[in-house]
Structure 1
Amino acid sequence: MSQTQPPPSSPPHEDQVRDHTFDGIQEYDKRLPNWWLATFYGAMVFWVGFWFYYERAHLGPSNAERLEQQMAVIEAARLAAAPALDDASLWKMSRNAVFIDAGRATFASTCASCHSAKLTGGIGPNLVDQLWIHGGKPSEVYQTITDGVLVKGMPAWGPVLGTKKVSELAAFILSHHQENEPIEKQEAWIPIAPAS
């Protein structure tokens, strides 16, 4: 006696079997998981935003710009690790944006009160003209910052700032000059009163 059992009724939340059969295999009409759908739609939204930001609006740096920035950082690290600071390496540092930016920040906090934010002088001498009191060669500029000129009221910044910051400061000052410009010796500095 064979008893035929009726198929159990499937609850409403169960997956439905499709009518399609292949090699005796039935397919379920299964819904994709929510985590998968969220990941898929999130990736599409991210792609559209990324495409617009970089390709259409050009708000982000290009590959060439990012490469140039990374190369400047690498060059700055290489020059900072260089044991000897000669005129050639100081000139090279003065053309590197990483050194110039760091030197600008140090200048603003330690030197601008005497030499002005534009390096045009005040209590201290003008640093953007071709007249130099203590020498205009890069090594002389570096040495003047390091040792100071106590007779004129400039402290020795070498012990305070260290070699790295002094070289960045020299690079910032030299960035306002050309490598082959004439250097004129100025005998004395007479401070001028700031403009009212």
Structure 2
Amino acid sequence: MSRSRLAYSLAGAALLAARPALAQAADTGAASATDAQRTMLWFVLTTLVLVLMVFLLLVVALINWMRPQLRQLYDLPTVHDTWSGRVLGLLVGDARLVQGEVRDELLDHDYDGIHEFDNDLPPWWKYGFYATIVFAIGYVTYYHVLKTGQLQGAEYAAEMQQAALLIAATPDDPNQVTTYTALTAPAELSSGKSLFMTNCAPCHGASGEGKVGPNLTDEYWLHGGEVNHVYKTIKYGVNGKGMVAWKGKLSGKQMLQVASYVLSLQGTKPANAKPPQGEKEAPAKAVASR
């Protein structure tokens, strides 16, 4: 090998060896830059808040210092009853702009000793009422006249459709029934029986006769008696009925073993069987353990 090729090889090896360190240094530099930007942002926001507080204090101090002059200006007849004069009145302690005119003039109405005064409605209330009128006109025009926006029913339907698409896109869709076939091997059914006795017998009985849960040996089913429907019930449970979801506690194969064992109990007629519940279905093909 020539010296130039050897040098190139050594340089390439050095670059490969240094790549992780360079990548780590780049990540560290990026993190440092992000921290610096965050620190600068908080500094700017804090400075802005302090400047605004100082400005407000200066405005309050200026108004307090000029209050005698403002009062003289407010008392002028040409200023006192104008809208701008009422705004000026807020600075000198007159809240007519917010509270309205309080005349306390007694009207001729007298009901069971209850007297009525002639006072203005508070302006803030009237302005709020006018705002609701403007909003109502805009709402009716937008939703009912131009039909630009969706009403509640259409919006709900669109959101439900989007949610259904999102759920269907997931590999673990509770609305999608699997296409398994019942297991028939004795070893599989034995494993299913062991799992059933440990997890299911307290509610369904050791022989599937039904206790808190329904009878699993008759032809009646609450959520379907085909193996994939039984598998789905085991996997996702039944909300509000006491049937817990075994997803995450049992593997997919174990849940299929239990479902297959449950179907093997069809027609066994155990003692003290619970009365039928649900809809009658054609009996599943017998799965015998031998």
Tell me if TM exceeds 0.5.
no
Higher share of residues assigned helix: 2
Q: Which has the higher contact order (CA 8 A, sep 6+)?
A: 1
TM-score range, shorter chain: 0.3 to 0.5
Superposition TM-score, scaled by structure 2 size: 0.31
Superposition TM-score, scaled by structure 1 size: 0.45
